[in-house]
């Protein structure tokens, strides 16, 4: 019977040393994307082809709400076009029914996350962004803590990650935008009523730069601009992420 030759100390020390190495490398990325849902992952996929991209996710998984499909039925819809082409190119299995494709939201997100990682980005889960670094009028990074610390309400001072650009892809929470709203820097209109076809188009148009250094994608953009909700339809989220990536690229060069 084989004997595995390691000790518990090897595990602990290895994790601590690996984290120290990781944080030294990723303490100042080009772009921080907050939220690993479909919009955040799509933005990260495009941006990581040119920039050092760190994705921060407050949960322990990737994919956001689309993993639950429609009312926990494990499927989502996507329109034919840029989004379906991207997901298909990543190997996502889809079935055409009428005017839409249907797929496993979980499968689509896992494949998208893998592509992001393959591009060299890093997805760091269990991390809550509690504030922004702001110099003058420019957003210059994020302030982070562990999600359980934030949820517990304990006062534990954070750490900071400066970056050239920050993307709010935090979904309905629109958490980074609300930090600005709380300081009187902007006002969120709130997401509109359900109108899936209109919402799919308008959420893309609503995505882009908010203030210097801060960009918005996905349902956070809907919360900002008041565009209609669309339920378990995935195309607008993907295209929103790709659009915000283009806006970041245009500014960073």
Structure tokens at 22: 């990781």
For residue 165, the cross-strand partners are 31
195-248 residue pLDDT tens: 999 999 999 999 999 999 999 999 999 999 999 999 999 999 999 999 999 999
- Reported as a single tens digit per residue, the pLDDT across 142-163 is 999 999 999 999 999 999 999 9
28-67+105-252 falls under which CATH superfamily?
FAD/NAD(P)-binding domain (3.50.50.60)
Judged against a pLDDT cut of 90, whether residue 250 lies above it is answered with yes
Pairing of strands 165-168, 159-162: unpaired
Long-range pairs of 176-180 with CB within 8 A, sequence gap ≥ 24: 176/34, 176/129, 176/132, 176/142, 176/214, 176/216, 176/220, 177/210, 177/216, 177/220, 177/223, 177/224, 179/131, 179/132, 180/132, 180/210, 180/211, 180/214
Residue-wise pLDDT tens digits, 63-73: 999 999 999 99
User: Is residue 14 scored above 80 in pLDDT?
Assistant: yes
Confidence of residue 3 (pLDDT cuts 50, 70, 90): confident
pLDDT of the residue at 2: 65
Q: Which position has the token pair 């148009």? A: 205
User: Where are the domains positioned within the chain?
Assistant: 28-67+105-252
> At a CB cut-off of 8 Å and minimum separation 6, what does 123 contact?
36, 44, 55, 57, 62, 113, 116, 117
Percent of the chain at pLDDT > 90 equals 98
Q: No. of H helices and E strands in the chain?
A: 9, 14
User: What gap in Å lies between CA 82 and CA 245, rounded to an integer?
Assistant: 14
Query: What does DSSP say about strands 138-146 and 159-162: parallel, antiparallel, or unpaired?
Result: antiparallel
pLDDT band, residue 4 (cuts 50/70/90): confident
The pairing of strands 192-194 and 228-229 is: parallel
> Residue 58 pLDDT more than 80?
yes
**Digit-coded pLDDT (tens) for 93-128:** 999 999 999 999 999 999 999 999 999 999 999 999
Q: What are phi and psi of 174, to 5 degrees?
A: 40, 50
């Amino acid at each position: 019977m084989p004997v595995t030759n390691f000790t518990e100390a090897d595990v602990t020390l290895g994790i601590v040393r690996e984290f120290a190495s990781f944080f030294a490398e990723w303490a100042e990325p080009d772009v921080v994307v907050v939220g690993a849902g479909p919009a955040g992952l799509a933005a990260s996929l495009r941006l990581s082809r040119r920039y050092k991209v760190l994705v921060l996710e407050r949960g322990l998984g990737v994919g956001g709400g689309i993993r639950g499909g429609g009312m926990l039925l494990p499927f989502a819809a996507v329109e034919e076009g840029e989004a379906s082409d991207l997901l298909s190119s990543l190997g996502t299995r889809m079935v055409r029914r009428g005017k839409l494709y249907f797929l496993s939201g979980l499968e689509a997100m896992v494949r998208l996350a893998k592509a992001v990682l393959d591009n060299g980005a890093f997805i760091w889960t269990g991390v809550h962004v509690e504030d922004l670094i702001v110099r003058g009028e420019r957003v210059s990074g994020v302030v982070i803590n562990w999600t359980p610390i934030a949820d517990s309400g304990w006062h534990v001072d954070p750490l900071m990650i400066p970056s050239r650009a920050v993307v709010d892809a935090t979904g309905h929470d629109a958490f980074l935008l609300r930090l600005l709203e709380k300081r009187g820097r902007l006002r969120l209109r709130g997401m509109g009523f359900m109108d899936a076809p209109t919402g799919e188009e308008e959420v893309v148009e609503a995505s882009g730069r908010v203030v210097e250094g801060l960009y918005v994608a996905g349902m956070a953009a809907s919360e900002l601009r008041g565009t209609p909700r669309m339920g378990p339809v995935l195309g607008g989220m993907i295209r929103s992420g790709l659009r915000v990536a283009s806006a970041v690229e245009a500014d960073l060069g």
